[in-house]
Structure formats: structure tokens, C-alpha cells
Structure 1
Amino acid sequence: MTSVAMLSLWLLLGTSPEPAPTAPVEAMAVEAVDVAAEAAAAAAAAAPEVTGYRDATGSTLSHSRGLLRVTMRRDALRPLQGYWAVDVVLHNQGPKALPVRLSFQPSAGEVSHTVERRVEVGARQRVVVWLPLPIAWYSGQLTIEAAGLDPIVDTLYPDSDRSEPVLVLGTPKSFESAVDVPKNEDAADSLLAARFIEDLVDAPRDLALYAGFRAVMLTGEPSKLPAEVWAALESYVMSGGRLVITRPARGLETYLPLWKAGSSPTVPYGFGSVVSCATPGLECQGLVREVLSRDPADPMGPVNPVGIQPHMSMGSDLVPLLSSARAPLGRFLLLISAFALLAGPGAWMLARRRGPLAVLLAVPVVSAVTCLAIIAWSVLVDGFALHTARYSLTWLDGARSRAATVGLGAWYANLSPEPLKLPVSTVMLPPVESAGELADMDWTGGLTMGSGFVPSRTYREWGEVAVVPSRIRLVAKREGDSVRVQNALGAPLEEGFVRLGGTLWRVPALKEGEEGTGTPEAEPEADNVAHALVSRAFEAGVERRLWGAVQSFRADLVEGEFIARVGGPGPMPSSSMPAELNGAAHLIRGEVRP
């Protein structure tokens, strides 16, 4: 009964109405929340479920020049980060070896850099060549040149699907039977866009061509994958990738030496993880969905360098990591104010005393002096050295004498440095935001970064992913009630922890090659020294850029494991370039060596 009806009844009967019972505010709030939750659930149930996959393998185009037959893919799938791949099949039908050069230039109006690769195709040999291209390049011309033959030139475009891009080593049939996801031509309703490499022998051997995918699926027979491809896949997983194996076979540790079977289908592996689908169908589909699920607010990969943006000086997490790359606004403001006083009131006073001719002579002189002051400041303070700040995380695989490193480098120089030659299994990841922040790249026998790597007076950030041979280690052994530690990490050890004999030991600061004695660390149950060390090592902006790699370092130490912070340029392969170090923090984690 409403309040109006009750008031009318009171007037007729001449009695006072009883106050209507009112629900508590808390109960009303709970009821409102329940209604909202029911409405959200109904909306989710009414919305069509995103299912299926879109085949994004692309189409091929063939050319012939003399005895050389060339087949290239025109619209290869573009990952979210790093590089998209152009695969070219070169078939030399002649009796002599043929040197071939592949080069790619982005379309006019973007950038003028070139990516190239050289290969020699033997007599009557078929070779599959993969050319990594930065994802910021949405179109360009591929040129194939061979001695004595007319060049082949064609325009290529990547497939930039909005669905999650996934690289599948296997056939569409094996993928559908394993994951129970049907083919869907409508890209808007697809769970993922899949690039299939059906002939496993032709799969890429380069880490760069896997590094941009958040997930790589192996639906073919693991034993049919060549050893060179397995090496690239394992480097991909160690450096932060996710490998889904739909046909796990016995002896998987032969291909993935760090893999250990457990109760969970997802096994951590360095910075990444290996997911094995023991039962095809819905179970494997659920695992794939879990692998592909990502909070849009989280960064995409293990390392996410930031490109130059107008608001970089505004946000605390996006400021340049080098002080030399930030304009000295305070000093320049004083200099400009002095110039304004001399050119304004000073010129007026000079005109009254000396006449207009003196002003015509004085103003250009003052301008020249101001410009020379700015140039002198740049030369004396910045100099001509290459400035860098470097941050990295490294997993050590001591049993195989190698290291997986995910790093971030900030660079600035008045003059561009010489080309940087990097070893195989090293990838330099450019920022996603800008196509201009790239360089000439030569992928022949590794990666050579040429012009544009660090342009003159331009701030640059590059991510770095590498799995390289390494002999660095931390030696620790028990001596009675203490632990003796030797620093063989190749850099000064600033702080660290070792868990040995059921006790957590704090490692003292040690120079390279120096020995010291660890002290027992009082560790409350809720304390995690690895988590605390990560938080101390990286400031907010650096941690945000290394978000994907940092998370794997936060796990607590297990028996026989250590974590250490070292100084210097760090274990990244790009540390071979001479530079003035303006900031650094490097964390290394692995098993101690006796």
C-alpha cells in the first residue's frame, strides 16, 4: 500500500497511520548489487560466445628468373610485438651455387631503413629463407637479387588481425582435433588468428620470429621437428614465451632439457612456460584460452620499451631513463630570460644611448652568443660519448653453461655510434609505438644493427632478449656453520641471497672473483627476499617496462637457488658496445655451483 493510499484511509477513519516498515540501507545496497550482478550475468549469457579461429596463413606468389624459382608469402600474420615474418622459398635448378640477397624497404612516407639477409643456395637446392620485419612496417617492397639475374620486386602487406595471433606448427586438421576449435571466417567472432606452418622442416630457426607471439602451438609430432627448430623454440620459451604442445610424447626432456613432468599441465620454464595437453578436446581448449587470456592493461611481452611520446615528460612511469636525454629546462629558461632582457629592455637602452645602428649590430651578436652557449653546454656536459642506462634479468642454466636474459636499454648520443653486431639467438625489440624508432638490420649470421639504432641527439629505448652461452655462476659451499661464497658472475655483486642447507644466507657485497662469508638471514614466514630484492632493484618506470619478466623473479628461493643483484653494464650481449653507463640494475637467478 502506498503512502498516499494510507493517508486517505487515515482521513476517512480519523486514526493515525502506522509508519511503514523501511528496509535497512545495507539490505537495499545488497539487493541492488544482486540485481546488478544478475543483469550482468544475463547480458553475458545473451552475448554470443567468441569461438572458432581464423586461418591467417596467407597466400603465396611465385616468380622465375632463369633457373631460380622464387615463392613468397604476401600476407603473413603480424604478431603483437617484435617482428612479422616473410618466408621465401628459393629453388636453384642450376648446376652452380647462387648467392641471393633479400632486402625489404617500407613504403614511402614511413621510414627509409632497410632490412636484409644474404644466403647462398647450392646447386639444385631448395632453401626456405625467413626475413624478420618490424611490426611497425605495414607495407613495403621486397627485393630479391641474384648474380646475373634481373631482380624480383614485389609489394608485401602483413595480416593485422584484431584477434589474438598464434603461430601453429602443424596442420589445421591437427589443430582442430586437438583444441576442438572450429574454423571461423568471421574475424570479429574468432578466438584467435592462426598462422600454420604445415611442413615442420620449413619452420623458422630464428628466435626473432617467435619472440613476438604470446603463444606458439606445436600440434605436429615433436620428433619430426628439426633440432635447429627445437633450439629456437626452447630459446623462445626460456626468454618468456608460452609453448603449447598438443601431442606430448615420451622423452620431451630431450627437446626441452629444463622441462619436468608434474601434476599441473603448465610447467614454468625460465621466463616462460610449457603447456602440455594430455587430453585433446575441451581440456586442451581451456588451456589455450588460459594461455591467451591477458589483462589489456598489462604489457604484451617480457620487455616493452617505450617510444618517444609527447607526454613522456609528464607521467612518472614514462619519463626517459637517461637524464642526459631530458632538456635542462631550468638552465635553458635562465638563458632565454637573459636573452629576452638583452634583446628587449637592453636593446631599448642601447638605442637611446648609441642609436639604432648599435641595436642592429648588438642583437645578432647576442643571438650568436646565446646559440654558442647552448652548443657549449651540449658539448661540455653531454660530450660525444654514447650514454646508456641498462636493466636486465637473467636466468642461469649452469648445467648447460648458458644464460637467458631479458633486458632494457636506454640510449642517447650526440653522434651516432658504429654498427652493433650481435650473436645468434639475440633479438633487439623496438618500441611498438613508432615506426621511426628503428634501424637498418642485417640478419645474415646473426643481427647487425646499423644506421638508426641510436640517431644523433635522439633518445632511444630497445628491448633485448637473448639466450647465449655463458660461464658466469655463483659458487657456494658449506664450511661448518657458515657458507663460503665466491663471485663468478662477471660483475660486482652488490647484494644477494642463497638458500642452502635449509637456511637462507645473505651474500655480502663482493668484487668480481672475490670470496666472502654469508650470514644467516632472519626470515619471517611471510617474507620473500626475492620479491623484496626485485622491488628494490627497479624503480616503477623500469619495472613497468620489464613487467612480464619481473613476475617470474618474484617467486621465493628453493633449496640450492640464489638471486643476486650486480652492477656494471650487465650480461646483455649489447654491453659489448662502448658506452658511458648512467644507470644500471641487473638481477641474476639460478642454482649455486659447488
Structure 2
Amino acid sequence: MTSVAMLSLWLLLGTSPPPAAVAVEQAVAEAEDATEANAPNGYRDATGTVDSVTEGPLRVTMHGAVLKPQRGYWAAQVVLNNSGSQALPVRIAFSPAYGDTSRSAMRHVEVGPRQRVVTWVPLPVAWHSVTLRVDSPGLKPIVESLYADSDRFEPVLSVGTVSEFETSTGLTKTGERDEPYFSIRFLDAKDAPRELAAYVGFQLVVVTAEAAAVPADVWAVLEAYAATGGTLVVTRPSRDLRERLPLLPEAASTQSQYGFGQVWRCLESKFECESLIRGGSVGIEAYQRGVVIPLGMTQRWVAPLMQTKDPRPLLSNASTPVGRFLLVITAFALVVGPGAWWLARRRGPVSVLIMVPAVSVVTCLALIFWSVLVDGFAVHTSRYSLTWLDGARARAVTAGLSAWYANLSPDALHLPASSVLLPPPDLDDALADLDWTAGLTVGDGFLPPRTYREWGEVAVLPSRARLVLKREGDAPRVQNALGARLEEGYVRLDGTVRRLPALSDGEEGALGAPEPEPGNVADTLVGRHLGDGAGLRLSNALTPFSADLSEGGFIARLSGQGPLPSSGMPSEVETAVHLVRGEVRP
């Protein structure tokens, strides 16, 4: 029986409780008051610090100790001011302060005379502390150290000022010794980054600034962030919000599915905003972050996934040929063991000194020959992707995963700015040289020789891919204009579900007969081709993608390199599963 219950019992009996009971009850009340006092009651401002260094006409302002997400990249902001009369070409490079310091993330910028340029360089979250080097011809290099701010809870990114955030949500900044609900990084709307990589690692991005105060190119990247799996919270939705976020449904709703992600709108009060942001930033497990979770080399999965899933490589070339190795080792042991003893008795000890090195050389050459014969010098890959086709805006929203293996490192890979290459989370040895000058160029380290790698990819890219419907009497036909061979699929037409024929790119074919009991054919097709292997890595994207087809909607499975941004790299495809959803076009 608790102390409060015992005290109530004494009062019901009409007698005075003993002093010990009163003391216990007071201690419990004081403990409850202390617990309430230490409960989370606000946010922690993790925008970071600002420091400036001047060298000649160039003034460099650096933002350090900024909040970084749990995956992907954290964006380092560098402001360049040129007080001179001549344009200055500037190279900004970051390298990790610990580990493999030869890697770098850089950007080349030209600062005009008397111009101020705000530039961002996305850095992998595995880099907790970095060294910044700013070079410009004729000027002494500027070298500074910066570090990131990590948080055990899911961090929040806000586009807007502190006062706008507090006015919209009713949350206030906590004291230094108080426990916050979450940590937040504030970005000025006009200077916010224009690269998708700066946002995609955050589970929650809040827009508190007025819609008109956010530049159009910032809205474009925020829209791409939501479409590729993020949660965008708009605290002050404007009447023209659907023009900035075109995939929103016409009916007003607090939470709306948006491609692979969601858009939350505060439609009633600031208390609604507070509950939405608190709920979206607390209690997020590692396996729930992002639509793509690539597997690291050391297979460092979180416990729930290790208990229920099988994290084996997705590429057969990456599997060690244990049986062949045992056969070679056994043969080698027989030759240099009993074989050497037999040879020593027949030819003498000198022959053994010649035979053992010769057998070793032959064995090594055989292994090299076998590696070249089986793996060759090509890049091997397995590719999986999910794509939404937005025909009205001629674009494709893609989330996917590629597994890579090669005997020799390939050339640099160039990706557009509206795409993001996601490394395995918290894996230092999977990093590469990154050049963000024009999109992203991934250099050395992208695919080390004879090393299995997985990279996630999300992108919003222009696309003319479509499935054309041609009605010819009672036998409707479709033309494959999806850019790859159509292996199978379904379309909902006139209230019935029909099977798509297998078609090469540009080929036409008749639709199959209506399915008698179709059910949710999208969920069936996804479950059939994305099992525990690739489906585990893309599990957070499967739920919205597996929704039932609407009228005129189709889902198709394509083969080949697929719509992933990395499809331009020459490679031999071992496995390809590309699922595409969209609306048939007349």
C-alpha cells in the first residue's frame, strides 16, 4: 500500500496519522514537484556560434557548433565578403579532424567585387569535427576548426526566426540546466540552403516564416524534401500554399501524405503546432529515419532489425566464396604437406625449397586469374527503386538503393543538385571526396576496390516518362514510354483492374482482361519483389507506395539501370527491381 493510500486510510478512520506517515507523504509530494520541475518544457537553441576572419579584401564568417541530424549530411554555412574591386575565386574545403583526414568536401565560389555570398557545404554526419580551409589566389589560406552539435533526440530544423517560431508554437527556450523537448537549428529564410542534401537528413523541418518571405528556390527544395520522405511542418499556411506544394490534396487537412513524406499544417492554434512538432521529434527510432537505410560494411544494424531481418549483401559478388576457398586451401595443404614429404624422400630436401615457393606462386596466380575471370574489371551492381511520376509537372520522385562491387575503383560520379547520395549512417569508412560546386561530384572513396558498398539515393528529377493509353473500341491499348522495358504491372481503368503486358520501350500492347478479385495489386506487386533484403532498406517508403490504385493509376515494374541518379555510371546489373507509379496519359 502506498503512503498516500495509508494516509487516506487514517483519515477515514477518524484518527490522526502517525508522524512517520506524514513525513513519507510530504517526501512523496516533494519528489513529484521536483519531477515536474525537471520535466521537458521547451526547446534548446542549437543554431551555433559565429566567428569571422579577414585576409586582405576577403572576410570569411564561419558558423560552428551547429546542430546536425542523425543521418545524411549537416550543412556548414560560410559567408564570404569581398571588399575589393576585383572578383575573387575562392575554394572552400572541409576535411575530418580525425580518422581518414585525406577525404574532403569542397565547393568553388566566385565572389564579385564588393559582394556578399552565402554558401553551404553539406558534410557527412560521421564528421563530428572538421577543419575548414579557405583558399584564394594571392591570399594567405585561412584555416579554422569547427565542430557539430549532436543531440540524443531527433533534431528539428526551422526556416524562420526565433520569434516567429515561438509565436507560432508557444514554445520557449529552456534554461541551461533545464531539459528541453528537442534541439532546433534556425535558418534565415533568405539565406537558407538551396541543396536538398542540407535538409534530407532531418526528420522534421518547420517553416515559421511567412510564405512570401521564403524565396521561390528555397520553397522548391523544401517541396522536394517533403516529396522524398521528409516531414514538412508549415505553421502559417497561406492561401496559395498548394501552388508552392502542388501535391497537397484540395481538402484541408492537418496531416497529408506528400509523395514519400508528409506535410503538416497548423490550421487551428499554436497548441496544435506544439503537439505536432513535439510528436514528430521525440521517440523516433533509428530504423524509422528516412526512406532509405543503406547497409554499412560492418553491418551495424540497430537491435530490432538484427532480431527480425537478415542483413546479407544484395550482390552475389560481395559474398565470400567459402566453398572454393576451402577447396583451394585443402589442395594447397596436401601439396605442401604430404606432397613435400614425399618429394623430399624422392628428390631430396633441396627440391622442397624450390617446390613450396613455386606452389605458392601458382596458387596466388590461380586466385588472381579466378578473380579476373569471374568478376572482371566491370562495376557490378544491384539496383532497387520506387518512383512516383508527376506527369503534370514532368518530373519523377525517386527513392532507391544501389549495391556496388568492383575489382578496380571507377571514375568520379556526377549527380544533379536535386538528388542526394546517402551513405550508411555513422560509418566513417564509407565516405568519399565530395565536390558540391555544380551538383555533386563523388570522387575517390565512392567505391574502393574489392569492397562491397551500399548507397541510398533520393531525387526529384525532370522526366518525360509516361504510360500512354490508347482506346480503340472495347480493347484499350497502352504504349510504353517509361524509358525502360516494362516487365509487368497493373492499371485501374473504368473501375476495373487490368494487367499490363510486357513491353519494350516504345512498344504497344493490349491490356489484359479485368482481374476477377484484384484486391490491392500495388501491395501485392511490392511484396512480391521487395522482400527482407531490399525491402528492409526501403521499408519506410513501402507504406505510402503500396496504397491501392486510384482511377487511371498504374504501377509497373521496370528492368535495367532504372531512374536512379547514379544510372549514368557504366555497370553490369545483376538484379534490378524498379517500381513506378503514376497516371496513364491519353
**TM-score (norm: length of structure 2):** 0.90
In the TM superposition, residue 293 of structure 1 has moved relative to its aligned partner by 5.0
Consecutive unaligned residues in structure 2, runs of 5 or more? 1-31
1:561/1:192 CA distance change after superposition, 3 Å: same
In the TM superposition, residue 539 of structure 1 has moved relative to its aligned partner by 2.3
SS at 1:86 equivalent = strand
Map of 1:309 onto structure 2: 298
Map of 2:525 onto structure 1: 533
- Out of 565, 571, 575, the residue aligned to residue 573 of structure 1 is 565
- Out of 446, 452, 464, the residue aligned to residue 459 of structure 1 is 452
- Out of 398, 407, 412, the residue aligned to residue 419 of structure 1 is 412
In the TM superposition, residue 310 of structure 1 has moved relative to its aligned partner by 6.2
Identity of aligned residues (%): 56
Separation of aligned partners in 1, 2:233 and 2:55: 40
For 1:250, the aligned partner's letter is R
Contact 2:501/2:510, CA 8 A, preserved across alignment: yes
1:65 aligns with 2:58: no
Map of 1:37 onto structure 2: none
Map of 1:219 onto structure 2: 208
Contact 2:71/2:426, CA 8 A, preserved across alignment: no
In the TM superposition, residue 508 of structure 1 has moved relative to its aligned partner by 1.1
Map of 1:144 onto structure 2: 134
1:238 aligns with 2:231: no
Separation of aligned partners in 1, 2:178 and 2:72: 24
1:274 aligns with 2:227: no
Contact 1:534/1:554, CA 8 A, preserved across alignment: yes
Separation of aligned partners in 2, 1:178 and 1:58: 22
For 1:542, the aligned partner's letter is A
Q: Deviations over 1:241-274 (max 9, x none)?
A: 1110000111111211222342421111111111
1:171 aligns with 2:177: no
In the TM superposition, residue 359 of structure 1 has moved relative to its aligned partner by 1.3
- Out of 339, 364, 369, the residue aligned to residue 376 of structure 1 is 369
After the TM superposition, which of the residue ranges 566-575 and 292-301 deviates more from structure 2? 292-301
In the TM superposition, residue 524 of structure 1 has moved relative to its aligned partner by 3.4
Map of 1:229 onto structure 2: 218
Separation of aligned partners in 2, 1:586 and 1:237: 21
1:393 aligns with 2:391: no
For 1:148, the aligned partner's letter is G
SS at 1:520 equivalent = coil
1:116 aligns with 2:115: no
In the TM superposition, residue 482 of structure 1 has moved relative to its aligned partner by 3.2
For 2:448, the aligned partner's letter is P
For 1:100, the aligned partner's letter is V
Map of 1:258 onto structure 2: 247
Contact 1:72/1:87, CA 8 A, preserved across alignment: yes
Query: Which aligned pairs between 1:189-588 and structure 2 lie closer than 5 A?
Result: 189-197=179-187, 199-292=188-281, 294=283, 296=285, 298-309=287-298, 317-522=310-515, 524=517, 527-588=519-580
Separation of aligned partners in 2, 1:297 and 1:452: 25
Contact 2:499/2:515, CA 8 A, preserved across alignment: no
Separation of aligned partners in 1, 2:48 and 2:440: 27
For 2:84, the aligned partner's letter is G
Q: Deviations over 1:194-247 (max 9, x none)?
A: 0001x3110110000001001100011011111111111111111111110000
Contact 1:177/1:280, CA 8 A, preserved across alignment: no
Contact 1:246/1:280, CA 8 A, preserved across alignment: no
Q: Deviations over 1:480-524 (max 9, x none)?
A: 333211111000101111112211111111111111111233353
Q: Deviations over 1:564-583 (max 9, x none)?
A: 11000101121111101111
After the TM superposition, which of the residue ranges 207-216 and 163-172 deviates more from structure 2? 163-172
Contact 2:85/2:114, CA 8 A, preserved across alignment: yes
Map of 2:10 onto structure 1: none
In the TM superposition, residue 181 of structure 1 has moved relative to its aligned partner by 2.3
Q: Deviations over 1:426-474 (max 9, x none)?
A: 1111111411111111101111011111111111111111111110011
User: What is the aligned residue count?
Assistant: 549
Contact 1:493/1:564, CA 8 A, preserved across alignment: yes
1:145/1:441 CA distance change after superposition, 3 Å: same
- Out of 90, 97, 100, the residue aligned to residue 87 of structure 2 is 97
Consecutive unaligned residues in structure 1, runs of 5 or more? 1-42
Separation of aligned partners in 2, 1:146 and 1:52: 43
Contact 2:154/2:282, CA 8 A, preserved across alignment: no
Map of 2:152 onto structure 1: 162
1:442/1:203 CA distance change after superposition, 3 Å: same
Separation of aligned partners in 1, 2:540 and 2:221: 20
SS at 1:531 equivalent = helix
Separation of aligned partners in 2, 1:53 and 1:124: 38
Contact 1:306/1:433, CA 8 A, preserved across alignment: no
Separation of aligned partners in 1, 2:39 and 2:539: 30
1:368/1:319 CA distance change after superposition, 3 Å: same
For 2:193, the aligned partner's letter is P
- Out of 182, 185, 188, the residue aligned to residue 172 of structure 2 is 182
For 1:259, the aligned partner's letter is L
For 2:154, the aligned partner's letter is E
Separation of aligned partners in 2, 1:290 and 1:502: 38
In the TM superposition, residue 137 of structure 1 has moved relative to its aligned partner by 0.8
Separation of aligned partners in 2, 1:185 and 1:119: 39
Map of 1:10 onto structure 2: none
SS at 2:247 equivalent = coil
Map of 1:5 onto structure 2: none
After the TM superposition, which of the residue ranges 65-74 and 202-211 deviates more from structure 2? 65-74
- Out of 76, 79, 85, the residue aligned to residue 75 of structure 2 is 85
Contact 2:93/2:133, CA 8 A, preserved across alignment: yes
In the TM superposition, residue 292 of structure 1 has moved relative to its aligned partner by 3.0
For 1:119, the aligned partner's letter is V
SS at 1:536 equivalent = helix
Contact 1:111/1:435, CA 8 A, preserved across alignment: no
In the TM superposition, residue 318 of structure 1 has moved relative to its aligned partner by 1.3
SS at 2:194 equivalent = coil
SS at 1:96 equivalent = coil
- Give the root-mean-square deviation of aligned CA atoms: 2.0
1:126 aligns with 2:119: no
1:134/1:343 CA distance change after superposition, 3 Å: same
Separation of aligned partners in 1, 2:137 and 2:88: 7
For 2:569, the aligned partner's letter is M
SS at 2:360 equivalent = helix
In the TM superposition, residue 49 of structure 1 has moved relative to its aligned partner by 4.5
Contact 2:431/2:445, CA 8 A, preserved across alignment: yes
Separation of aligned partners in 2, 1:584 and 1:356: 57
SS at 2:313 equivalent = coil
Q: Deviations over 1:21-79 (max 9, x none)?
A: xxxxxxxxxxxxxxxxxxxxxx9x97865432110000010011111111110111110
